[in-house]
Structure formats: C-alpha cells, structure tokens
Amino acid sequence: DLKSEKADSLPLLEELLNYAKEEKAPDDVTMEKSWRASTVAKAVGALKTSAGGPIDELVMAQYFGCNNPLPDDEDDEEGKEKAEKTKKEMEERRKAWRSALLAKASAWADAVVDSTAGADLSEEDKAAFDVSVKELKKWVSAAGDLSNDKEKVRHAIIASRHLRICQGKRVGSLVSVRKARKDLPLKSYRELTEEMLKVLEGVDAMEFWVQQIKEDLAERYPTVNQ
C-alpha cells in the first residue's frame, strides 16, 4: 500500500515516476513533449539522496565497482544474511536507477525529435537530451544491462537519436538502429524500422529507399479496415 510508504520509499518514488510519464499536461502547455521531459527529469531527481530519495550513485558505484563476497565464516549466519540483504537492496536500486535514467533520456529523445520534425529545436532541450544520455551511459553500457525488451528497444532509439541530433552522425545513427533491429526480437521490427525512416527522411537521394521501407512495412503490417 503506497499510502503507508515513507517519503524515501523506492516503490513510492518509482510509482511517482510512472505517473510523471503519463500525467496529463496542463492546458496552457504548448510544447507537451518538452514539458513531459522536464516533469520526468524532476521525478528522476527525486530518487537521489540529495533530494531525500534512496539512490546514492557514489555508494552504488563503490559497491558494484568491487567484489562484495559473503563472509568467510560459514557459521556467520547473521553476516551472510546482512550481506545478502545488502546485495538485494543494491541490485533493486541499480535496476530502478537504470530504468529511471532510461525514462528521462527517452522523454528528452521524444522532445527533441518532435522539435526536429516541426517546431524549432531549442538548444536547451538539445543540451538536456545530451546530458541525459551521458548520465544513462554511466549506468547502462549496453542493452544487456536492461531488464526487458521494451527497455532495450527504447535504449536503441535513444542511442540512434543521440548520434543523429547531438553528434551529427546520421550514418552512425542508421547503423545503430539497424543493428538493434537485427539483435532484438522480431516484435520490435516495426518500431525500429519506423525509427530508420526518421533517420532517412529528408536526406537527398534517399527517396527510393524511404519508399521501399514504407512498402515493406505496409506489406508486413497491413492496415485493417474496420
């Protein structure tokens, strides 16, 4: 029951983060995805000990940066129990922190790609996206660090957009998302292929390939008339 949880409760703060990802934007908000990214970023910040939360990045980095074996004394049941409890808590916090940083980078990735497709891309949003990805990379070195395929797909999309928007590496962006499409389960094919289209659309001499990809998607996922 979340009502009984303390203010520094990890389950409570995770639930508040989930709420931030889905909360309805106020009526006076004009750039919803930028607003959403800022809201998610605040919820992620609330997880840190500096804001009263349970996540201490330095402590976690020190814990996972070295081996933490169980006590040598086989009869030290209390020591073993304490070590196991610490291990479980640290793994839960690392998992939650990785998911939180992914959510933050994902929100900014959606905000900047929305801007590049229409409205002007603000340097503030671009910088916030760049910083969020760098923070994510500290804790997620590869897709295998994440918990499920949905997170791995978002990680691939974030990486591709960062290469394209923040580093100006459109070819690298395309290679990145194509590799992810090959490595991840078939159910992610459509989402990652649509991301490939975002990379290619608007590029000179790519019209033929864009049309080929669109036709491939239409054939694989035909529209069902109601």
Which residues lie below 8 Å from residue 210, measured CB to CB, with a gap of 6+? 197, 200, 201
Q: 113-140: b or e for each residue (b if 16 or more CB lie within 10 Å)?
A: bbbbeeeebeeebbebbbebbebbeebb
- Does the pLDDT of residue 224 top 80, yes or no? no
On the question of pLDDT at 73 being above 80, the answer is no
Residue 3: predicted pLDDT: 44
pLDDT of 12-59, one tens digit each? Answer: 999 999 999 999 999 999 889 999 999 999 999 999 999 999 999 999
Q: What is the pLDDT of residue 69?
A: 59
**What is the C-alpha separation between 51 and 16, in angstroms, rounded?**
14
Mean pLDDT of the chain: 88
Q: How far apart are CA 132 and CA 126, in angstroms?
A: 10
Within 13 Å and on the Cβ side, how many CA atoms surround 90? 16
pTM: predicted TM-score of the whole model, two decimal places:
0.86
Instruction: Name which of 4, 95, 83 is nearest 54 in CA terms.
Output: 95
> Does the pLDDT value for residue 206 go beyond 90?
no
**Is the pLDDT assigned to residue 91 strictly greater than 80?**
yes
Mean pLDDT of 114-138: 83
Q: Are 106 and 191 a contacting pair, CB within 8 Å?
A: no
CA–CA separation, 14 vs 86, rounded Å? 20
pLDDT number for residue 217: 92
Q: What is the pLDDT of residue 4?
A: 52
pLDDT for position 46 = 94
